[in-house]
Amino acid sequence: MDHEADAHRTDLMTITRYVLNEQSKHPESRGDFTILLSHIVLGCKFVCTAVNKAGLAKLIGLAGETNVQGEEQKKLDVLSNEVFIKALVSSGRTCILVSEEDEEATFVEPALRGKYCVVFDPLDGSSNIDCGVSIGTIFGIYAIKDGVDPKIEDVLQPGKNMVAAGYCMYGSSCTLVLSTGKGVNGFTLDPSLGEFILTHPDIKIPKKGKIYSVNEGNAKNWDAATAKYVEKCKYPQDGSPAKSLRYIGSMVADVHRTLLYGGIFLYPADKKSPNGKLRVLYEVFPMSYLMEQAGGQAFTGKQRALDLLPTKIHERSPIFLGSYDDVEVIKALYADEGKK
């Protein structure tokens, strides 16, 4: 083993070091956010390990099946939900948790309450689990004055009020992308250290991209603005080259690529789903927050996504997000349609 080389690695910027550095800029801070984040990071490491072992451990399959030891097996999304609920509650810094997997919000018991509300999709991209394609966890964080008397309205807030948002992608590497409202940073898990290392500092999305990402199987039900937009991507009339289509079907993976390479990701409304598919609190808001923090835009077809005021915890919204210039085009098309 090359100890010399290993010694050099101790100056790496781990996510813990990064958050502690940020905390030290606020002398009044009691470190509550740092503790909360360390519990989220732990949850991501657990789920990453479970995802990597999914085929071997027969985690894939129906919840309720039993394995050879007679233990009940949990489907990966059920397991991930339990991991994050436990990690968040045991942080002692949360008061309300909203998970895609739970119909109702979880109100943390009074003895363990803190001031943060966390909304999350414990495992995003579930249709890709069984074939080993990238999946992820998405989270957003609101802060209330104190966690003494939390109410559901504390999470039914516009996304612009979030204090942090991020996702972890379980792909060819495990990558955690985070914003605390001062830009976006990406950390990659070094399995030999068990630490997330800052590998993508200050991510900025390209102003314009060459890729569009959408489930085109829904095209026959799109509205006119979406249909015109995708037509422009394929047959541009302004002399620019046609865009390439990339669609994984895991929001985390499709948004991650969009953030790094530029372009646009859209899950629009259609005749069958007038509110689109993706959930406002734990899919649309965190990803829109990251996009804006990286210099891009996020639009619902009617308004800035982060201005939406959700009325239900599992509400859905159409979403168009990505490079600034690309989102400008779809905004203009919706504005034109509105004039007709």
Query: Using CB under 5 A as the criterion, which residues of the chain lie in contact with Mg ion when the complex forms?
Result: 100, 121, 123-124
Give the one residue of 32, 121, 195, 326 binding ligand FBP; rule: CB under 6 A: 121
Binding of ligand FBP by 251 (CB under 6 A)? yes
Of Mg ion, ligand FBP, none, which one sits near residue 199, judging by CB under 5 to 8 A according to partner kind? none
Task: Determine the angle formed by the axes of helices 76-90 and 32-52, rounding to 10 degrees.
Answer: 160
Q: Which residue, among 191, 192, 298, 207, has the nearest Cα to 255 in the 3D structure?
A: 298
Q: At its nearest, how many Å lie between ligand FBP and the CB of residue 126?
A: 4
Please, which residues have CB within 8 angstroms of residue 131's CB and are 6 or more apart in sequence? Answer: none
Give the one residue of 75, 88, 124, 212 binding ligand FBP; rule: CB under 6 A: 124
Pick 73 or 213: Cβ nearer ligand FBP: 213
Chain residue at closest Cβ approach to Mg ion: 124
Give the one residue of 74, 113, 277, 331 binding ligand FBP; rule: CB under 6 A: 277
Of Mg ion, ligand FBP, none, which one sits near residue 270, judging by CB under 5 to 8 A according to partner kind? none
At 102 the three-state DSSP class reads: coil
Binding of ligand FBP by 274 (CB under 6 A)? no
Binding of ligand FBP by 216 (CB under 6 A)? no
Instruction: Kindly report the backbone phi and psi dihedral angles of residue 186, in degrees, each rounded to the nearest multiple of 5, phi listed first.
Output: -115, 135
Q: At its nearest, how many Å lie between Mg ion and the CB of residue 85?
A: 14
Q: Which residue, among 318, 227, 321, has the nearest Cα to 273 in the 3D structure?
A: 318
Binding of ligand FBP by 113 (CB under 6 A)? no
Q: At its nearest, how many Å lie between Mg ion and the CB of residue 100?
A: 5
CA dihedral 36, 39, 45, 48 (to 10 degrees): -70
Binding of ligand FBP by 125 (CB under 6 A)? yes
Largest separation between any pair of C-alpha atoms in the chain: 70
Binding of ligand FBP by 321 (CB under 6 A)? no
Q: At its nearest, how many Å lie between ligand FBP and the CB of residue 67?
A: 24
Pick 144 or 174: Cβ nearer ligand FBP: 174
Q: Draw the binding track, 21-60, toward ligand FBP (x: CB under 6 A; -: no contact).
A: ----------------------------------------
Q: At its nearest, how many Å lie between Mg ion and the CB of residue 77?
A: 6
Side-chain half-sphere CA neighbours of 317 within 13 A: 29
Pick 123 or 225: Cβ nearer Mg ion: 123
Pick 94 or 213: Cβ nearer ligand FBP: 213
Sign of CA dihedral 60, 63, 66, 69: positive
For 77, the enclosing helix (H) or strand (E) is: helix 76-90
Residue pair 264/320 in contact by the 8 Å Cβ criterion: yes
Binding of ligand FBP by 126 (CB under 6 A)? yes
Rounded distance, CA 261 to CA 266, Å? 15
Token representation of residue 88? 């968040």
Give the one residue of 16, 52, 199, 215 binding ligand FBP; rule: CB under 6 A: 215
Query: CA angle, corner 200, sides to 131 and 298, nearest 5?
Result: 75
Binding of ligand FBP by 127 (CB under 6 A)? yes
Residue pair 246/211 in contact by the 8 Å Cβ criterion: yes
Q: At its nearest, how many Å lie between Mg ion and the CB of residue 94?
A: 19
Residue pair 262/211 in contact by the 8 Å Cβ criterion: yes
Q: Which residue, among 97, 329, 137, has the nearest Cα to 232 in the 3D structure?
A: 329
Rounded distance, CA 72 to CA 116, Å? 33
Binding of ligand FBP by 250 (CB under 6 A)? yes
How many chain residues touch ligand FBP (CB under 6 A)?
Answer: 12
Summarize as ranges the residues that interact with ligand FBP (CB under 6 A): 100, 121, 124-127, 215, 249-251, 267, 277
